[in-house]
Amino acid sequence: MSTVLDLVRADLREFTLYDAADSDAAAVRLHANELPWRPEGDAGERGLNRYPEPRPAALRRRLAKRYGVEQTQLLLTRGSDDGIDLLVRTFCAAGQDRVLICTPCFGMYAGAARLQGAAIDEAPLDAGSDFDLDADTVGEALTDGTKLIFLCSPNNPTGTVFQRAQLARICVAAEGRALVVVDEAYIEFSSLPSITDMLAEFDNLVVLRTLSKAYGLAGIRLGAVVAGKSVIGVLNRILTPYPLPSACVDIAYQATGEDALGSLKEKWATIIAERRNLSVALEGIPAVVRTWPSEANFVLAKMNDARTAAALARRHGYLVRELHGPLSDCLRITVGTADENAGLLDILRGLRA
Ligand SMILES: *Cc1c(COP(=O)(O)O)cnc(C)c1O
């Protein structure tokens, strides 16, 4: 019977990157070539002279609970970017295997594939239906070499959230052939729930979560790969031994407690309300051709001249993201505070229609 582990690169099936030193911080540590004294000003729990905990247990327990999975189903990484890279390196043999992406999407999937020497196939989202996902299109684009299918929901940069039924159909189509990686970087801003509960049904499903967006912790680089325990087991053997700095783990732990959740949820509600205000206001600006409905913390707007709009915003000290390729003449605008959004809108109102 084929298992999901048969998809792992053949040369990595028995491989462990490094046998990390025992991490007991209370013991007398004469085994890791650390300096025995703390650096000046270090008052943290675990001295910064010590290597961090290899796989931080308390944070892992907390996030597993938050995401509704077992601890054995979660691996903490340096942001989702690290998780994406790890997945590509683990499952795609260079010069042989392929990655399928649903464009327009987040650029790191193709970037990580290029770095690894994996070929990239595209199954474009349907521009005629606000970039919705069609499971049949994805199924038809699967080839024998496809090892990973990346789907981003809500999608960056379109803001589209994909229906569970479509994602489930793709998992079925890819069964025994490829992993389906659903990147939920923006799911906290969406009206649909996470699909981590579908992990119980599909052993080829992988979900990516991050603290960078909704938790406001982009600066500490903390993400999670959530998957079946055999996939997590393999990734765990291949991830570097001490990926997460102790200080970052401490901050993440503090910022993700139950006590912090109330005020976070208020912030998410504020962003969702401001997203609506921003979209409505943009639609009223002559230089804006249209916007798309968004389930993330940004709005995609088609402009009559995106380059000029972005340059004008830049001159006034505002950064917006100008897009290219199929979305040329579009801007991706992050939802800021009400004042920040109003400031940008004023600038865009000054553009010629
Ligand atoms: C921002 C973003 C990420 C990056 O997350 P990090 O955890 O900061 O690496 C991942 N996926 C998508 C779609 C993003 O937009």
pLDDT digits (tens, 9 = 90+) for 36-70: 999 999 988 889 999 999 999 999 999 999 999 99
Q: Could you tell me the distance, in angstroms and rounded to a whole number, from the CA of residue 321 to the centre of ligand 1? A: 15
Instruction: Name which residue sits closest to atom 15 of ligand 1, judged by CA.
Output: 156
- The whole-model pTM stands at 0.97
Instruction: Name which residue sits closest to atom 11 of ligand 1, judged by CA.
Output: 185
212 CA: nearest ligand 1 atom: 8
**Lowest mean per-residue pLDDT among 36-45, 140-149, 156-165, 204-213:** 36-45
Per DSSP, the three-state class of 195 is coil
Per DSSP, the three-state class of 2 is coil
| Model confidence at 1: pLDDT above 60 | no
- Dist CA 219 CA 229 (whole Å): 28
- Dist CA 100 CA 145 (whole Å): 10
210 CA: nearest ligand 1 atom: 7
Buried b (16+ CB within 10 A) or exposed e, 161-173: bbeeebbbbbbeb
Q: Could you tell me the distance, in angstroms and rounded to a whole number, from the CA of residue 83 to the centre of ligand 1? A: 10
The proportion of the chain whose per-residue pLDDT surpasses 70, expressed as a percent, equals 99
pLDDT digits (tens, 9 = 90+) for 221-271: 999 999 999 999 999 999 999 999 999 999 999 999 999 999 999 999 999
Q: Mind giving me the DSSP string for 38-75?
A: PPTT--SSS-TTSPPPSS-HHHHHHHHHHHTS-GGGEE
pLDDT digits (tens, 9 = 90+) for 286-314: 999 999 999 999 999 999 999 999 999 99
Q: Could you tell me the distance, in angstroms and rounded to a whole number, from the CA of residue 105 to the centre of ligand 1? A: 11
184, 213, 298: which to mutate for ligand 1, most atoms within 8 A of CB?
213
Phi first, then psi: give them for residue 279, nearest 5 degrees: -60, -45
Confidence of residue 353 (pLDDT cuts 50, 70, 90): confident
| Model confidence at 137: pLDDT above 90 | yes
Binding-site residues, ligand 1, Cβ < 6 A = 79-81, 106, 152, 156, 183, 185, 210, 212-213, 218, 223
The proportion of the chain whose per-residue pLDDT surpasses 90, expressed as a percent, equals 94
